[in-house]
Amino acid sequence: MRRVTLLALIAAVVLPFSARAQGKADFSGTWTLDTAKSDPPPQGRGGGGGAGGGTQTIKQTASELSVSSEGRGGPQTMVYKLDGSESTNQVMGRGGAQSVKSTAKWDGSSLVIETTRDFQGTPITTKEVRRLDNGGKEMVIESTTQTPNGELKRKTVYTKS
């Protein structure tokens, strides 16, 4: 009888944690770049991707993720549909405003966002994998950008404010 009680107690404590770990993350909040834990930004032209620097303010609902940050031309907001369908956003580039197309889908508790933009007639694709670490106090974004000059990888870490 003691074993049954002990097993029931362990299950009552462990199962809620494992169920929560497999759920979808909530990225809502204000996030500040931690440069000490992040890779430096790529040098030169055509690099980067959606995981920029500074501060990101994120609002998340069951169907959308809205990421606001300071871009080249001022404040910028990217809105992603979380059902895997295509989202179109306007971003400021070297030649002015440009449309980018993205899809966002869940992979366990990580959010995978794939974005395609045109750079001088060449499509540039960036894949971002966002996840929460350190009990939700850190947001890690691992981005991989395919460019004509090769693949660029960058890890950025943000701390919740």
Specify the pTM. Answer: 0.80
Q: Is the pLDDT of residue 157 over 70?
A: yes
Q: What is the pLDDT of residue 116?
A: 96
- pLDDT band at 53, cuts 50/70/90? low
Question: What are the tokens at 104?
Answer: 């966002």
Nearest to 42 by CA among 120, 154, 140: 154
Read off the pLDDT of each residue in 64-75 and give the average, rounded to a whole number: 87
Q: Provide, rounded to the nearest whole percent, the portion of the chain with pLDDT above 90.
A: 63
Q: Which helix (H) or strand (E) holds 131?
A: strand 122-133
Most trustworthy range by pLDDT among 16-20, 24-28, 69-73, 96-100: 24-28
In order of 25, 81, 113, the CA distances from 145 in angstroms are 23, 21, 12
Q: Do the beta carbons of residue 130 and residue 102 sit within 8 Å?
A: no
Q: Is the pLDDT of residue 8 over 60?
A: no
pLDDT tens readout for residues 72-126: 678 899 999 999 999 999 988 777 788 999 999 999 999 999 999 988 888 999 9
- pLDDT band at 14, cuts 50/70/90? very low
Q: What is the pLDDT of residue 59?
A: 98
Q: What is the pLDDT of residue 39?
A: 95
